[in-house]
């Protein structure tokens, strides 16, 4: 059984799906805490499942480094084997990423390296792409640049809006994230080359 800390900034549908999956005693990962940079609506899922939460607001710190140091301390307090960025919308400084090297993964709604950044779904539509998808990758010092662990395609349908496409992408994300964490727990994935 591995211990997982999940960091979110938004609605937390990936978090909710993981909480539901980890209710199964055969699922090899336990979410030990959920953290955020804001009062994210998704924190309610953690509270419902009686999982510890912490919020570290950047505005309460004089520098990004100090904010990240406190965020890291909160994460490490729970001694996780794995830290999952599931819709965490702040860019983390090198100090945070290095401290968790090989243990920090992110889920992103595109087939990286296409459509990096915060508007990946919108950008795929604006570019007239016929398909996009989901990537799960180790986090490195860049933005959405780390080593890719797994990807899955999602076809773009005529008439798709950012919302309709993102809903379909999230359905794929929920399964892919749970499967990937399971493989990490069973050491079925190669060790990160970071």
What secondary structure does DSSP assign to 167-194, as a single string?
A: HHHHHHHHHHHHHHHHHHHTT-SPPP--
Q: Work out how close the CB of 182 gets to ligand GRF at its nearest, in angstroms, rounded to a whole number.
A: 18
Binding mask 67-86 for ligand GRF (x = CB under 6 A): -------------------x
- Three-state DSSP class for residue 104: strand
Stretch that binds ligand GRF, among 64-72, 73-81, 106-114, 149-157 (CB under 6 A): 106-114
The phi and psi torsions of 13 (rounded to 5 degrees) equal -70, -35
Check binding of 109 to ligand GRF (CB under 6 A).
yes
Check binding of 184 to ligand GRF (CB under 6 A).
no
> Cβ(6)–Cβ(32) under 8 Å?
no
119 as an active site residue: the answer is no
Check binding of 10 to ligand GRF (CB under 6 A).
yes
Measured from the Cβ of residue 18, the count of other Cβ atoms closer than 10 Å reads 25
User: What six digits make up the tokens of 104?
Assistant: 């920090």
Q: Which CB, 71 or 85, lies closer to ligand GRF?
A: 85
- Three-state DSSP class for residue 75: helix
Q: What is the largest CA-CA distance in the chain?
A: 47
- Three-state DSSP class for residue 8: strand
Q: Which CB, 10 or 26, lies closer to ligand GRF?
A: 10
Q: Which CB, 69 or 116, lies closer to ligand GRF?
A: 116
Q: Work out how close the CB of 62 gets to ligand GRF at its nearest, in angstroms, rounded to a whole number.
A: 28
Check binding of 144 to ligand GRF (CB under 6 A).
no
Q: Which CB, 11 or 69, lies closer to ligand GRF?
A: 11
The residue from 36, 173, 176, 185 that contacts ligand GRF (CB under 6 A) is 173
Catalytic residue selected from 45, 78, 108, 137? 108
**Cα(96)–Cα(61) distance, rounded to whole angstroms?**
15
What secondary structure does DSSP assign to 116-142, as a single string?
A: -STTHHHHHHHTT-SEEEEEEEE--SS
Check binding of 35 to ligand GRF (CB under 6 A).
no
Contacts to ligand GRF by CB under 6 A:
8, 10-14, 42, 86-87, 107-109, 170, 173
């Amino acid at each position: 059984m591995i211990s997982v800390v999940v960091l979110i900034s938004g609605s937390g549908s990936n978090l909710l799906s993981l909480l539901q999956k980890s209710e199964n005693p055969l699922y090899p990962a336990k979410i030990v805490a959920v953290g955020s940079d804001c009062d994210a609506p998704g924190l309610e899922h953690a509270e419902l499942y009686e999982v510890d939460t912490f919020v570290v607001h950047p505005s309460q710190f004089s520098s990004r480094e100090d904010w990240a140091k406190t965020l890291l301390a909160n994460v490490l307090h729970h001694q996780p084997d794995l830290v999952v960025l599931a819709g965490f919308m702040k860019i983390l400084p090198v100090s945070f990423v290095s401290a968790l090297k090989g243990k920090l993964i992110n889920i992103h709604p595109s087939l990286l390296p296409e459509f990096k950044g915060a508007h990946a779904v919108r950008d795929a539509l604006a570019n007239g792409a016929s398909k996009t998808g989901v990537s799960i990758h180790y986090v490195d010092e860049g933005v959405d640049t780390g080593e890719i662990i797994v990807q899955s395609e999602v076809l773009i349908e005529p008439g798709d809006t950012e919302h309709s496409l993102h809903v379909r992408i999230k359905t794929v994300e929920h399964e892919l994230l749970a499967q990937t964490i399971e493989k990490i727990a069973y050491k079925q994935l190669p060790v990160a080359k970071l």
